[in-house]
Amino acid sequence: MIDRFWAKFGKPSSDSVHTLTKDNMPKHVAIIMDGNGRWAKSRGLPRIAGHHTGMKVVKQITMAADRLGIQYLTLYAFSTENWKRPKAEVDFLMRLPQEFLSIELEELIANNVQVRMMGYRDALPSHTIRALEEAIARTADNTGLILNFALNYGSRTEMTDAVKRIAEAVRDGELKPEDIEESTIAERLFTNGLPDPDLLIRTSGELRLSNFMLWQLAYSEMWFTDVYWPEFSESHFHEAIAEYQRRARRYGGL
């Protein structure tokens, strides 16, 4: 029987020259989509043009991940620190989920993709959260790729909040300090129920984590490229996964 992987992977949708192995696919890929501004600047365009092209790349990479049978794709779309940017740029970024979903939601549904988000919802504009919540609700029963947008997400705040909730549980007598385990923390993060990323990709040549999934990336393989996000292609994505598949993961063992 031709399984889902080869049926989908066989589609002539990619010019990738990288050989990938079905058995060693990362389950969860996380991406720091960086370089939109520099890409735009290098073309004499306003920064928002970079973000807009970056949005189109989100679609391409989501579909590429789906074709490979990757189960979780987490995309860093807006950090808790990104509010420091000029208001016009923040406003533009906050309209992107809405625009993206108005164009792509039907196709995501047709491909059985489940949309999720992680981050602090309260600070998001109502139009942003409305669009996301509609997509989350309409795709909740889908069983394919989980497309997880990190939006107004910050890892240190996420962990600080988890610690606060644990402290409250101890104070209220619901939890003993000696019973606190790694899972006690992990269960109180936005990623509760998701496996840790196997592979982190960051585009644009920056070599840092920028407050992204600091707990969850403890044993992830990391892959960095100089390519700016708006020009990141399915072939680059395959290159990252091919490199991942060449690595030996030892988790501190031998």
Q: Does 116 bind ligand FPP (CB under 6 A)?
A: no
Write down the least CB distance from residue 213 to ligand FPP, Å.
15
Burial label for 114, CB within 10 Å (0-12, 13-18, 19+), is: buried
Q: Is position 97 an interface residue for ligand FPP (rule: CB under 6 A)?
A: yes
Task: Tell me: is residue 3 an annotated ligand-binding position.
Answer: no
Q: Is 36 annotated as a binding residue?
A: yes
Does 237 bind ligand FPP (CB under 6 A)? Our answer is no
Which one, 37 or 154, has the nearer CB to ligand FPP?
37
Measured between its terminal Cα atoms, the distance across the chain in Å is: 37
Task: Please name the residue that has the structure tokens 């039907």.
Answer: 106
State the minimum distance, in angstroms, from the CB of residue 100 to ligand FPP: 3
C-alpha dihedral (67, 149, 92, 234), degrees to nearest 10: -20
- Tell whether 112 is in a known binding site: no
Q: Treating both helix axes as pointing N-terminal to C-terminal, what angle do 234-246 and 47-68 enclose, rounded to 10 degrees? A: 50
Cβ-based neighbours of 128, under 8 Å, separated by 6 or more: 94, 95, 97, 98, 151
Run of H or E including 153: strand 146-153
- Per CB under 6 A, the list member of 36, 139, 155, 216 interacting with ligand FPP is 36
Q: Is 33 in the site for ligand FPP (CB under 6 A)?
A: yes
Q: 31 or 166, CB closer to ligand FPP?
A: 31
The only residue of 31, 34, 135, 223 in contact with ligand FPP, by rule CB under 6 A: 34
- Which is nearest to 36 in space by CA: 56, 65, 15? 56
Told to judge if 66 belongs to the known catalytic residues of this protein, a careful annotator would answer: no
Contact between 55 and ligand FPP by CB under 6 A: the answer reads yes
Minimal distance in Å, beta carbon 96 to ligand FPP?
A: 4
Question: Which of 72, 100, 190, 244 contacts ligand FPP by CB under 6 A?
Answer: 100
31 vs 194 by CB, closer to ligand FPP: 31
Structure tokens at 233: 């292609």
Burial label for 145, CB within 10 Å (0-12, 13-18, 19+), is buried
Determine whether 34 is an active site residue. Answer: yes
Q: At what angle do helices 47-68 and 87-110 cross, to 10 degrees?
A: 20
* Residues in the annotated binding site: 34-39, 47, 51, 79-81, 83, 85, 202, 208-210, 221
Write out the residues near ligand FPP by the rule CB under 6 A. 33-38, 51, 54-55, 58, 77, 82, 93, 96-97, 100, 149, 204, 229
- Residues with catalytic function: 34, 82
